[in-house]
């Protein structure tokens, strides 16, 4: 499909990739240019739309599609291989999901687990909040579908551009900086309790981890950890099984969390960097605003410096850092992030084979040196040039 509004990191785009649907968003006026009955070539790989193409253009598009399918079949051979560099440095490549239906695509494409389970989809398209039992069943299904592989469950990330009509969320001047995500959960303890109890109960059926979004302080994470201990005590008293050692992590997507990452790393087992919001907040750029979309660049030296600080802070405490933003599935950025020390990449299922191939064909010592050079540069253009040159030199 194609639409007038949206960007690469909008939820429409994210869901399209999850469903493996070709899509072009943010065209501004495609709905005014196309009428019923028109034929289109939708080249989502090159961000190109051809209206009423010639027979020659159609034949060329079919050839490109056939080549894409052939390449996808070749990449499928990597399904059961680890994401390990030529010199033996291993990372994990996982998938992002919104529902249990997405698990098949992660497994089929060779994902090593779920790096982000967006639980807010459980709260959408309904008339009331999901109960503890409904959430328990949903999380259990995912745990069982992933057959023992790790599943990182992010607690409800409602607010911002994700509204729930039945919750009557307040109209805010800037909802992305307002009452959203963990702020709602901490204020509405019945929501937090039902969700965390559901996750804890489901942890008896697989390898689950809990991740909290929009954290800005150590106080928040300590309050959330105390709540988990309270709900664990309730479940013990009720004789309900759960994983006593379930790991807790933070989604680092605010400059505040990044700035105190060295403190947060002492409180949790892992970090996962949400580059979509982290880029937006670091650069003060609304990622849904087409007028300034050219300023939104996760390869900005400002953003990359923050990412590197988070990775280093976690490693200093013997913890690991993953990434579940759209940058994690950008093959152009894979080598740079690998060289920066990222431990886990999580993305849409369709991107997993390509990223795994890039990692397996690389040398960690070389990409580490390249990343060090890139991070010393003052502009995104210079950083991108270093990455592109490295890729070009290796392809000779």
3-state percent breakdown (helix, strand, coil) of the chain, nearest 5: 50, 15, 35
Contact 239, 291 (CB under 8 A): no
Structure-block tokens of residue 111: 């994902």
Backbone CA torsion sign across 283, 289, 293, 297:
positive
Question: 178: closest CA among 203, 158, 193?
Answer: 158
DSSP letter at 115?
A: E
Residue 260 φ then ψ, to 5°: -110, 25
- The catalytic position among 3, 11, 262, 315 is 11
Helix (H, G, I), strand (E, B) or coil at 165: helix
Distance CA 259, CA 263 (A): 9
Report the SS3 class of residue 134: helix
Q: Which two tokens stand for residue 122?
A: 């459980």
Annotation says 324 is catalytic: yes
* 218 neighbors 211 (Cβ within 8 angstroms): no
The C-alpha atoms of residue 273 and residue 258 are separated, in whole angstroms, by 9
Catalytic position from the list 94, 103, 205, 324: 324
Task: Tell how many helices (H) and how many strands (E) occur in the chain.
Answer: 16, 11
Tell me how far apart the alpha carbons of residues 45 and 48 are, in angstroms, rounded to a whole number. 8
For 142, 187, 241, the CA distances from 132, given in Å and listed in that order, are 16, 18, 15
C-alpha dihedral sign at 4, 9, 10, 13? positive
Q: Residue 262 catalytic?
A: no
- Look at residue 299 and give its three-state secondary structure: coil
Retrieve residue 201's tokens: 């109960």
3-state secondary structure of 92: strand
In angstroms, the CA 90 to CA 360 distance is 9
N-term to C-term CA, the chain: 36
The residues that are catalytic are 11, 324
């Amino acid at each position: 499909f194609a639409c007038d509004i949206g960007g690469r990191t909008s939820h429409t785009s994210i869901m399209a990739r999850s469903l493996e649907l070709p899509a072009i968003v943010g065209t501004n006026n495609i709905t005014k240019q196309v009428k019923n009955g028109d034929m289109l070539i939708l080249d989502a790989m090159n961000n190109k739309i051809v209206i009423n193409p010639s027979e020659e253009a159609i034949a060329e598009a079919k050839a490109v599609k056939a080549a894409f399918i052939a390449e996808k079949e070749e990449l499928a051979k990597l399904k059961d291989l680890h994401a390990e560099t030529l010199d033996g440095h291993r990372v994990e490549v996982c998938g992002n999901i919104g529902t249990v239906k997405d698990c098949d695509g992660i497994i089929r494409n060779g994902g090593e687990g779920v790096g982000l389970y967006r639980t807010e989809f459980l709260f959408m398209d309904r008339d009331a909040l999901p109960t503890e039992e409904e959430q328990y069943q949903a999380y259990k299904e995912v745990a069982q579908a992933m057959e023992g592989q790790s599943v990182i469950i992010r607690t409800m990330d409602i607010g911002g551009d994700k509204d729930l009509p039945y919750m009557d969320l307040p109209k805010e001047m800037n909802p992305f900086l307002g009452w959203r995500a963990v702020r709602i959960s901490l204020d509405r303890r019945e929501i937090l309790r039902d969700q965390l109890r559901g996750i804890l109960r489901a942890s008896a059926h697989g390898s689950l981890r809990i991740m909290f979004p929009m954290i800005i302080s150590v106080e928040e994470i300590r309050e959330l950890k105390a709540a988990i201990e309270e709900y664990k005590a309730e479940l013990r008293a009720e004789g309900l099984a759960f994983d006593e050692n379930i790991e807790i992590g933070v989604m680092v997507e605010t400059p505040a969390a990044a700035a105190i990452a060295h403190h947060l790393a002492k409180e949790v087992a892992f970090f996962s960097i949400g580059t979509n919001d982290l880029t937006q907040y670091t650069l003060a750029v609304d990622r849904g605003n087409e007028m300034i979309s050219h300023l939104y660049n996760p390869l900005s030296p400002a953003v990359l410096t923050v990412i590197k600080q988070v990775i280093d802070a976690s490693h200093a405490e013997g913890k690991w850092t993953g990434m579940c933003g759209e940058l994690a599935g950008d093959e152009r950025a894979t080598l740079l992030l690998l060289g920066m020390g990222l431990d886990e990449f999580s993305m849409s299922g369709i991107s997993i084979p390509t990223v795994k191939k890039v990692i397996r064909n690389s040398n960690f010592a070389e990409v580490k040196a390249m990343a060090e050079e890139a991070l010393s540069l003052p502009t995104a253009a210079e950083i991108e040039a270093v990455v592109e040159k490295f890729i070009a030199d290796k392809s000779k």
